[in-house]
Amino acid sequence: MQSDSTHLLPNGKNRRLGFFSGIPVLFFLFFSGQGCIPYLYHLGKEQAKILLQRKAISEVLADPEIPETTKSKLKEVEKIREFGIQELALSPEGGFKSFVQLDRPAIGWHVSACHPLRFESYTWWFPIAGTVPYKGYFSLEKAKEEEQSLKKQGFDTRIRITAGYSTLGWFEDPLFSSQLYEDPGDLASIVIHEMAHATVYFPGDSLFNESYASFVEDEGSDEYVLKIGGPKLLAERKKSEEETKLYKNLIIETANLLKAAYSEGGTEDLLLKKKTEIIGDFRKKILQTKWAKINSKKLSERDWNNEDFIGMLRYNSGTPYFRKRFLEVGKDFSKFHEEMRKLKEKTIEERKVLLEEK
């Protein structure tokens, strides 16, 4: 099982693909969600460790033992956080005022699963967060055990690294050592995405929550890069992301083809045949495309399944809708967030319809 993110891209590019599962709430030790006490104990214990290990960024910056490279990134995060509050109207409850040095390569890992012949995610329910299409762990081994259980039930599965982390304002969420990206635009992306979750969040509606946060992330990080480096730096960043965007769009295109095929219905054999053909064509397109940095051979040989494709839609749906509403309020982030909050009165299905607008 891959212990890195879902898609095999060069280092530094994976987090730009839009699989930012924040695993919104990891502290339900005293709740009975899913009726799994060992799991809740695991989350509660690790969440407690995070609360005990976090140090105020100001304290870390004053520590002579901390490398200057780390301090430089933490100072950048402080700037991004202030920019998010002042310029993007993001909630100050979004955290990033403290730092945690991890003893592992990632914050955690989360398992997602999908029906093999339908775009229907397997879901879990937790208090406050509601129904979510992923289950997070601070241990890769425990995530693998969960995945094996789902595979035995016949689901398409995937384990992904947890790049972002949010408790939705219940605790002050720290920055983790695994999030200290070299590129200031990447730092801005992770901070802005998670602050967006603390700004607008609808329990049980992962499709809207993640897509909204991804849109704010994209728009906000561009604004930040423009502020610190001007049009030239922003243009350079856009150019460096062209290949990643092409790859991402190829996945979304294939996801929509699979979605349409499943919607047409048919026997299991027919649906399996369509699925195999569509994913086969996707593999061919990967091999036929000229990539500068992407390992097309490795990607074409991987075991692609429904969860890979629905996962991309989960974090990248509704862009035309969000952009339209953003433009309608004159690109005013405060007004945009307020318009999004008004959607609280709508059902999950009604919000889903909005995200399908072209």
Locate the domains of the chain by residue range. 200-357
Mean pLDDT in the chain?
88
Q: What is the pLDDT of residues 260-281, one digit of tens each?
A: 999 999 999 999 999 999 999 9
When pLDDT is cut at 50, 70 and 90, the band that residue 18 belongs to is very low
Closest alpha carbon to 167 in 28, 41, 42: 28
| 23 has pLDDT over 70 | no
Residue 221: which residues within 8 A CB-CB, separation 6 or more? 185, 188, 189, 192
Strand partners, 99: 55, 175
When pLDDT is cut at 50, 70 and 90, the band that residue 46 belongs to is confident
Instruction: Output the 3-class SS for the chain.
Output: CCCCCCCCCCCCCHHHHCCCCCCCCCCCCCCCHHHCHHHHHHHHHHHHHHHHHCEEHHHHHCCCCCCHHHHHHHHHHHHHHHHHHHCCCCCHHHCCCEEECCCCCCCCEEEEEECCCCCCECCEEECCCEEECCEEECCHHHHHHHHHHHHHCCCEEEEEECCCCCCCCCCCCCEEHHHCCCCHHHHHHHHHHHHHHHHCCCCCCHHHHHHHHHHHHHHHHHHHHHHHHHHHHHHHHHHHCHHHHHHHHHHHHHHHHHHHHHHHCCCHHHHHHHHHHHHHHHHHHHHHCCCCCCCHHHHHHCCCCHHHHHHHHHHCCCHHHHHHHHHHCCCCHHHHHHHHHHHHHCCHHHHHHHHCCC
In this predicted structure, what is the pLDDT of residue 19?
41
| 75 has pLDDT over 90 | yes
Q: What is the mean pLDDT of residues 349-357?
A: 94
When pLDDT is cut at 50, 70 and 90, the band that residue 126 belongs to is confident
In this predicted structure, what is the pLDDT of residue 168?
67
| 36 has pLDDT over 80 | no
In this predicted structure, what is the pLDDT of residue 50?
86
In this predicted structure, what is the pLDDT of residue 12?
44
When pLDDT is cut at 50, 70 and 90, the band that residue 336 belongs to is very high
Higher pLDDT, 259 or 206: 259
In this predicted structure, what is the pLDDT of residue 38?
81
Strand partners, 157: 113
Contact yes or no for 130/141 (Cβ under 8 A):
no
Q: 178 is written with which tokens?
A: 């695994």
Higher pLDDT, 192 or 315: 192
How many CB atoms lie under 10 A from the CB of residue 278? 17
In the chain, what is the straight-line distance between the N-terminal and C-terminal CA atoms, in Å? 37
In this predicted structure, what is the pLDDT of residue 169?
67
When pLDDT is cut at 50, 70 and 90, the band that residue 205 belongs to is very high
When pLDDT is cut at 50, 70 and 90, the band that residue 30 belongs to is very low
Q: What is the mean pLDDT of residues 215-220?
A: 97
| 14 has pLDDT over 50 | no
Q: What is the mean pLDDT of residues 55-62?
A: 96
| 128 has pLDDT over 80 | no
In this predicted structure, what is the pLDDT of residue 5?
39
Q: Alpha-carbon distance 104 to 122, whole Å?
A: 28
| 166 has pLDDT over 50 | yes
